[in-house]
Structure 1
Amino acid sequence: MTALLIGGSVGIIAGILTIPAAVTYLRRKEPPQTRQERARIVSDLPFAADLMTACLLAGRPVSAATEIAANAIGGPLGQRLSWVSSQLRLGADPEPTWATLAKDPATGQLSRAMSRAAQSGAPVADVLTRLADDAREAARAASVASARRVGVKAVAPLGLCFLPAFVLLGIIPVIAGLASTIVIP
């Protein structure tokens, strides 16, 4: 396409050079389903952490708390937590089990928190409470930023509507009035 737009040997060279850039861009583009799953995980994470905290404070082990949260949440986060729960019930080492969730950016925060708690022996309920609070704060900040972006995006169409009206009703009559006094003696 680039070769046809530019034409000649320069167009052919430009076309050859744009192919790798286009391929790289298309490979990096995330499918909509993945984006939706990630958004659902981010929205479900605070509730799952609170639910796991409640179970832990009630005396349940981490594997049972994870299983209860997985069954209650469902969806993509529930599937991931269900896998972790089954691995923990089978006696897997907690650190590598939780570390498998770090591959996905949406569950990375949970993975790091639980791995650190397993390494240090810190109370898991406190870690999960902090995680839920941080996730809620991040969601709140993201929604505020999104609302601000909407306000900025709304200004351009309004400017395109009001600028011609301002020019036609405010500037042209003034220029016409000045021109009539200058041209007509």
Structure 2
Amino acid sequence: MTWAAVSLALAVLVLPQPSVARRLGARRVQAPGRGAPPSDGPLAVAATLDAFAACLRAGMAVSTAAAAVAAAAPHALAHVLRRGADLLALGADAGRAWADPADDGDAGDVGKAHVRAYLRMARRSAASGAALAQGVEDLAATLRAEASDAAGARAERAAVLIAGPLGLCYLPAFICLGIVPVIAGLAGDVLRSGML
């Protein structure tokens, strides 16, 4: 009983208090520039586009919604959204605001295919008058489907690549431990029976 009490007291004194750990964790999360940047993957872009569409469906202006979503967007998409939001807020037409920055010599990280797809869709929406929110949701769904297909293809390729080494390891073992003893046993029975 006393050893348990001594161990408990020692653990309480040695281990950090939960509040200290929470404060350190909160400080890391709140520190600007210390967090990991959002991924530029298609799923992160799809999540950003879903948030953008939700803002648009809620009635926010396109420039306000783009500026709000750009704060948490992946880097390549954030650059495009900030630029478009700034130009729209200054009164530029939507076709100019969503123009590809690579055409102006300001390429940055806009080389991503999904960002270029968003820019094309936003320009088409501005030219035709179609609702931008529906196009953004459709693009997000397309990005998710492409990511799912790519993950499935990688899993199938891994299954094929793993079959070779497994076959090279287990086939000789199966022959040595499964077939050879059966053949040796049958050969011993045939030789003892006098058939040969």
> Could you say which TM-score interval applies, normalised by the shorter chain?
0.5 to 0.7
Deviation of 1:135 after TM superposition, in Å, equals 1.6
- Alpha-carbon distance between aligned partners in 2 of 1:75 and 1:112, rounded to the nearest angstrom: 18
- Alpha-carbon distance between aligned partners in 2 of 1:176 and 1:84, rounded to the nearest angstrom: 79
Which residue of structure 1 lines up, in the alignment, with residue 82 of structure 2?
82
1:10-21 aligned at under 5 Å gives the runs none
For residues 56-90 of structure 1, give each alpha carbon's deviation from its aligned partner in whole angstroms, at most 9, with x where no partner exists. 12222211111111013253322332122222222
1:119 to 127, 132, 145: 127
Which residue of structure 1 lines up, in the alignment, with residue 165 of structure 2?
157
- Alpha-carbon distance between aligned partners in 2 of 1:58 and 1:147, rounded to the nearest angstrom: 39
For structure 2, the residue ranges without an aligned partner over 5 or more in a row are 1-36, 102-109
- Alpha-carbon distance between aligned partners in 2 of 1:153 and 1:132, rounded to the nearest angstrom: 31
Q: More helix by proportion, 1 or 2?
A: 1
Deviates more, 1:112-121 or 1:164-173: 164-173
- Alpha-carbon distance between aligned partners in 2 of 1:110 and 1:88, rounded to the nearest angstrom: 16
- Alpha-carbon distance between aligned partners in 1 of 2:164 and 2:130, rounded to the nearest angstrom: 51
1:78-157 aligned at under 5 Å gives the runs 78-100=78-100, 103-157=111-165
C-alpha contact (below 8 Å) 2:42/2:114 kept by paired residues: yes
For residues 110-145 of structure 1, give each alpha carbon's deviation from its aligned partner in whole angstroms, at most 9, with x where no partner exists. 112111101100011111121122222222222222
Deviation of 1:108 after TM superposition, in Å, equals 2.0
**Cα distance 1:68–1:105, how it changes in 2: closer, same or farther (>3 A)?**
same
C-alpha contact (below 8 Å) 1:44/1:77 kept by paired residues: no
- Alpha-carbon distance between aligned partners in 2 of 1:52 and 1:117, rounded to the nearest angstrom: 15
The percentage of aligned residue pairs carrying the same residue is 38
Count of residues in correspondence between the two structures = 148
- Alpha-carbon distance between aligned partners in 2 of 1:90 and 1:58, rounded to the nearest angstrom: 22
C-alpha contact (below 8 Å) 1:46/1:136 kept by paired residues: yes
Deviates more, 1:94-103 or 1:147-156: 94-103
**Cα distance 1:104–1:97, how it changes in 2: closer, same or farther (>3 A)?**
farther
Query: SS at 1:73's partner residue?
Result: coil
- Alpha-carbon distance between aligned partners in 2 of 1:99 and 1:178, rounded to the nearest angstrom: 79
For structure 1, the residue ranges without an aligned partner over 5 or more in a row are 1-36
- Alpha-carbon distance between aligned partners in 1 of 2:114 and 2:74, rounded to the nearest angstrom: 15
Cα root mean square deviation, aligned: 3.0
